[in-house]
Amino acid sequence: MVQKAERVNAPQLSGRMSAARQGRPVGNVTRGTTNPNRMRRLDRWLAGPQAWRLRSAADPLVVDLGYGASPATAVELHDRLAAVRPDVRVCGIEIEPERVRAALPLQRPGLTFHVGGFELPIPGRPVLVRAFNVLRQYEEADVPGIWRLVQERLSPDGLFVDGTCDEIGRRATWVALDRDRPLSLSISVRFGSFDLPSDVAERLPKALIHRNVPGEPVHAFMQAMDKAWFESAALASFGNRQRWVGMCRSMRAAGWPVQDGPARWRLGELTVGWESVAPLDYQGP
């Protein structure tokens, strides 16, 4: 039975008296809706700027956490990352046992499915953990504890990605975290799917979506994107791709910690350092 935005019990997130140590998965059953190719924008980022993590990993273990009612996106993740690291091992984890039973026929070398939650009930330390459209169904107050629980399981160069996208993957955002702290916020959009860059705000991760209000850094970021988009209007005659690149250049020139460069910007991506968008009351390192 699906649980809607329920609190995860504090002991489950303490790392000391967790339900996982009593044999129970940590988390709630979510709606599980998904579509093939929905995660392509994030997967492209994982196989691009973050590919070094997988290439250098002693154990190329990857987790698709909360893959939903269909295992299609876990299968796609394996296919895409295998191009970077042929011996990659992708483990799809779902808290609903029936979803795992339905996925078992798709198991193959390098791709397995398991019942579990944020405790990641598999041996080893993953180099990548993808949780997309999962935390949005929890309370904002639970996010720091969930982040810590997953971060504790990462390998030394591991990355945890908490993200959200629309139903067909045209608008996506994600926060990337290493073992110690959040690193960045990324936005990826399909050209033609928005009027203003800030339209993506409705797909912000749970840690930020309720902070898109005046006075909060992420709101200032959204407004700065729109301003830079308007200022780059002269480039529209060359197409929205060039206009987006111009917007990214303007954002960097204005002092925003914009990462990567034109090769990523031309894909409709924009990544900034977490420190520039973190909630005012963020208590992390």
Q: Which of 39, 105, 48, 121 is nearest to 74 (CA)?
A: 39
Domain borders along the chain are: 10-208+259-275
Give 53's pLDDT tier (boundaries 50, 70, 90).
Answer: very high
Whether the per-residue pLDDT at 10 is higher than 90: the answer is no
Q: pLDDT for 118-175, tens place per residue?
A: 999 999 999 999 999 999 889 999 999 999 999 999 999 999 999 999 999 999 999 9
Q: How many residues does the chain have?
A: 285
Distance CA 19, CA 235 (A): 54
| 114 burial type by CB count under 10 A (0-12 exposed, 13-18 middle, 19+ buried) | middle
Contacts of 183 (CB under 8 A, 6+ apart): 159, 176, 177, 273, 274
Contact in structure between 157 and 166 (CB atoms under 8 Å): no
Q: pLDDT for 227-259, tens place per residue?
A: 999 999 999 999 999 999 999 999 999 999 999
Q: Is the entire prediction scored with pTM above 0.75?
A: yes
Q: Fold for domain 10-208+259-275?
A: Rossmann fold (3.40.50)
Whether the per-residue pLDDT at 20 is higher than 60: the answer is no
Average pLDDT along the chain: 92
Backbone phi, psi, residue 95, to 5°? -80, -20
Lowest mean pLDDT among 18-22, 221-225, 275-279: 18-22
Arithmetic mean of pLDDT, 196-214 = 97
Region of 2 please: left (phi>0), alpha (psi -120 to 50) or beta: beta
